[in-house]
Amino acid sequence: MALAGTGAELSHLTPRPNKTLFGSNYLSIAGNDFNFTKQFLPEVYEKEVERYGNRTISGFLSMVGAEMPMASDEVVWSEQGRIHVAYDDVVGTDVSANLLTFSAAHLLSIGDTIIVSKGGATLKCYISAVPSTTTVTAQPYTVADISSIGSDGVAAVKVFVFGSEYAKGSSNAGNKKDATFTSFSNKPIILRDKYSVNGSDTAQIGWVEVATEAGTSGYLWYLKSEHEARIRFEDQLEMAMIEAEKKASGSAISATGISGSEGLFAAISSRGLVYNNADFDDGVSSGVHVGLAEFDSILQELDKQGAIEENMMFLDRATALSIDNMLAAQNSYGAGGTSYGVFNNSEEMALNLGFSGFRRGSYDFYKTDWKYLNDSTTRGLVADIEGVIVPAGTSTVYDQIMGKNIQRPFLHVRYRASEADDRRMKSWITGSVGGNYTSDEDAMNVHFLSERCLCVQAANNFVLLKSTDGIQG
């Protein structure tokens, strides 16, 4: 039986008696003819386009810190207090009796010599009596009484001890002045993630060669997806250490068994310095570069805290450029005076790691862009943090578990580990695919787990740059 319409459908293929060229002599892929050729034999670019370039944001902690194991579920350390005696909370006085009243128990004793200050005016005094734990009698070395440093009396004055003086043949000099210390602690959190692919998809060969941030490539999509899951988890390990927050007492999260942890931003906000709305590229006013003056105010605050000479700056793009403009406005700024001590005085090493160095006052700074603050899928989405200044080197603290003084990087990660289990970065596979036969599930499940916390020691030497007004410390 002949097929209806066959002649009509194939009329364009009828051979001609001569060799004349006609359009009908050729196969056409116009319209719906031979759609299968376009469906099954497409012209495909053989490589996947890396639309967002290298998407990883980790690397901050590897530059500034270290990782070390811990065998407990809490790390505790103590930080030394000030060794000098000073008060800024003198709240009441009896001017006629040269009596200073403190808001809490003081450490002053008879024989101490002090400076009393108010509004820039100062008066040097001798402690002649200590009526109570919260009062002292401060006799000025001048003929004036204490009221001479302020017409309204000396309420809210500042006091610090600069020495002592005793008469000949005196005894029982001074009293015990122990430097205070403060204990801090942090607890690790458990981070987990999983990548899954069914057995059938593991056997599927893709059309497009795909690449990963680590430089590996292939035609199996599940390999790319598994690698990206690993990269994403490693990024989250870093982001959690930066962003982690301890649960507040009475918070709704308390009922979940989750305790939280103290991340970098939280530690600096509570124990460090916060500089708000910095604009280091703010032009010149009355012959003074305004931005440089702002930067100098940070240095002045660092002077008060301990003056760690070498510091690393991790900045968002806008802040990094504003500092570049600030430095460019200075004639031959830093020429011959830039040190690269933290990089073994190798400028090449610093530049290879993305850092540029400059010196201001007695401080060396190593500046770099921080991708975490620029990425629109991380902090770049919020844009409230402009950067951090992190002291380089180590600090000495008392480890209450070890019972001795130890040196640790100002910023470091502690992870749970013992002879039984190392939880720095665990990865394992379950299912019945990929050579593993742990269950009858026709799938491959790649698990990731880590248990860790961040230690921010001497947070008073850290600076958090934020996009709001004022300075806090």
pLDDT for position 414: 92
Q: Which residues contact 207 (CB under 8 A, 6 or more apart)?
A: 44, 219
- Given a cut of 50, whether residue 296 has pLDDT beyond it is yes
Higher pLDDT, 237 or 45: 237
- pLDDT value at residue 240: 93
Is the distance from CB of 413 to CB of 66 less than 8 angstroms?
A: yes
Q: Is the pLDDT of residue 268 over 90?
A: yes
pLDDT band at 124 (very low <50, low <70, confident <90, very high): very high
249-258 mean pLDDT: 81
pLDDT given at position 41: 46
Q: Report residue 422's pLDDT band, with 50, 70 and 90 as the boundaries.
A: very high
Convert the pLDDT of each residue in 194-228 to its tens digit. Answer: 989 888 887 776 666 666 655 666 666 667 777 78
Give the model's pLDDT for residue 425: 92
Higher pLDDT, 403 or 369: 369
How far, in Å, CA of 431 to CA of 37, rounded? Answer: 39
Task: Round to whole Å and give the CA distance between 178 and 83.
Answer: 8
d(CA 41, CA 38): 6
Q: What angle in degrees, to the nearest 10, is found between the helix axes of 221-243 and 264-271?
A: 10
In contact, 417 and 70? CB cutoff 8 Å: yes
**Cα torsion 60, 244, 308, 304: sign:** positive
- The predicted model gives 447-472 an average pLDDT of 85
pLDDT at 386 over 90: yes
pLDDT band, residue 417 (cuts 50/70/90) = very high
Q: What is the per-residue pLDDT for 242? A: 93
pLDDT score, position 336: 42
Instruction: Count the Cβ atoms, other than its own, within 10 Å of residue 204.
Output: 12
Distance between CA 322 and CA 151 in Å, rounded? 45
What is the residue extent of each domain of the chain?
46-82+180-473, 86-178
Q: Tell me the CA distances in angstroms from 397 to 208, 412, 455, one per residue in order.
A: 54, 13, 12
Average pLDDT, stretch 73-96? 80
- Residue 47 carries which DSSP code? B
∠ CA 269-270-272, nearest 5°, is: 70
> What is the average pLDDT across 13-26?
56
Q: Which residue has the higher pLDDT, 461 or 288?
A: 461
**Can you give the pLDDT at residue 186?**
93
pLDDT at 30 over 70: no
Answer whether residue 442 shows pLDDT above 80: yes
Average pLDDT, the chain: 78
Cα 421 to the center of its chain, rounded Å: 28
CATH architecture of residue range(s) 86-178? Beta Barrel (2.40)
Share above pLDDT 90 across residues of the chain, in percent, rounded to a whole number: 22
Least confident of 57-71, 80-94, 250-264, 349-363: 349-363
Given pLDDT bands bounded at 50, 70 and 90, which one contains residue 62? confident
Predicted local distance difference test score (pLDDT) of residue 224: 72
CA atoms within 13 A on the CB side of 185: 11
Range 134-158 burial, b when 16+ CB lie within 10 A, else e: ebbbbebeeeebbbebbeeebeebe
